[in-house]
């Protein structure tokens, strides 16, 4: 097909050249049949020979280099995996939590060797005992969502610390909000 179209185009160009060469007055001629598709060149013009060698593009962005080279401790202190926050007495993710997990899932896909522990945490307004289970439910909710996005389940462990390890030791709503979370810890990379 391409070859045939090319031949037609070539023939038209030759005919024109012959007509001009004879310098005969222009005469009405039937228009050539329109091409069935926009005329495509037979092949793109050969690119000019490069003068410089192409720049080598790093395989991963610079930011990823920082992540790749960071120690686990450093990674976890300023983790690229963001925590998910919850409402009081709830383990529902909500749209905000899902958005955070979407981003975490993208990172986990990019760094396919990472294994992660998802820690469930609670604020101090639940009892110490019930909070152990509630924290686990929060971690499980985050894990299930990541698995639904294609992250292999065996890369995601869960653990609940109830209200044993508050991120903010305060006793007000501001502190409580920070303490109701599923927190991500990279355990291997």
Partner 1 sequence: MTKGLLTGTIALALLGAGPRAQQPPQPPPSQQPAPPPQQPTEIETTISGEAGAPPRLAVPDFIALSSDAETVAVAKTIGQVLWDDLNFEREFAFIPRDVYTTIPKATSFADVPFDRWRELNADGLIVGAVQKTATGFHVEMRLYNVRTRQAVYPRQYDGAANARLYAHTMSDEIHKSQRALIGVARSKLTFDSDRDGERMNNSVQNRNIKEIYIADYDGENQRRVTVGRTLNITPRWSPDARSIAYTSYRRGGANIFISNIFVGTLEEVTKGDKVGENWLPAWSPDGTKVAFTSTRDGNPEIYVANRDGSGVRRLTNHPGIDISPTWSPSGTQIAFTSDRSGSPQIYIMAIDGTGLSKKTSESYCDKPTWSPAPFNEIGYASRNGPGYDIKVLDLATGHIRQLTFGEGTNESPAFAPNGRHVAFMSTRSGKSQIFTIASDGKDLKQITRTGNNEKPDWSK
Look up residue 84 and give its DSSP letter: E
Residue 111 phi, psi dihedral angles, 5° rounding: -105, 80
Residue 107 makes CB contacts below 8 A (sequence gap 6+) with 80, 81
Task: Please give the size of the binding site for partner 1, defined by CB under 8 A.
Answer: 28
Task: Determine the interface stretch with partner 1 among 4-12, 37-45, 49-57, 134-142 (rule: CB under 8 A).
Answer: 134-142
Measuring CA to CA, which residue among 176, 175, 188, 187 is closest to residue 119? 187
Among 85, 141, 160, 179, binds partner 1 (CB under 8 A): 160
The radius of gyration computed from the CA coordinates of the chain, to the nearest angstrom, equals 32
Residue 117 phi, psi dihedral angles, 5° rounding: -105, 125
77 sits near partner 1 (criterion: CB under 8 A):
yes
Rule CB under 8 A: which of 7-66 touch partner 1? Answer: none
167 sits near partner 1 (criterion: CB under 8 A):
yes
Residue 109 CB, nearest approach to partner 1 (Å): 23
Distance CA 141, CA 92 (A): 7
68 sits near partner 1 (criterion: CB under 8 A):
no
Task: Determine the interface stretch with partner 1 among 3-11, 94-102, 103-111, 125-133 (rule: CB under 8 A).
Answer: 125-133
Q: Which residues bind partner 1 (CB under 8 A)?
A: 73, 76-77, 89, 117, 124-130, 132-134, 136-137, 140, 157-161, 164-165, 167, 183, 185
């Amino acid at each position: 097909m391409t070859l045939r179209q090319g031949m037609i185009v070539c023939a038209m160009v030759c005919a024109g050249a012959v007509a001009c060469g004879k310098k005969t007055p222009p005469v009405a001629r039937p228009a050539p049949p329109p091409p069935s598709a926009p005329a495509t060149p037979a092949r793109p013009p050969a690119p000019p020979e490069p003068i410089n060698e192409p720049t080598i593009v790093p395989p991963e962005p610079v930011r990823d280099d920082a992540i790749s080279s960071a120690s686990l401790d450093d990674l976890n202190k300023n983790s690229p995996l963001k925590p998910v926050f919850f409402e009081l007495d709830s383990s529902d993710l909500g749209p905000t939590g899902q958005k955070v997990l979407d981003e975490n899932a993208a990172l986990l896909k990019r760094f396919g060797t990472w294994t992660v522990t998802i820690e469930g945490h609670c604020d101090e307004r639940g009892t110490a005992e019930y909070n152990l289970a509630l924290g686990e439910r929060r971690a499980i909710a985050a894990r299930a969502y990541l698995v639904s996005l294609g992250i292999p389940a065996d890369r995601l462990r869960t653990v609940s610390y109830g209200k044993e390890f508050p991120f903010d030791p305060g006793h007000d709503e501001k502190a409580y909000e920070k303490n109701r979370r599923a927190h991500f810890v990279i355990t291997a990379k």
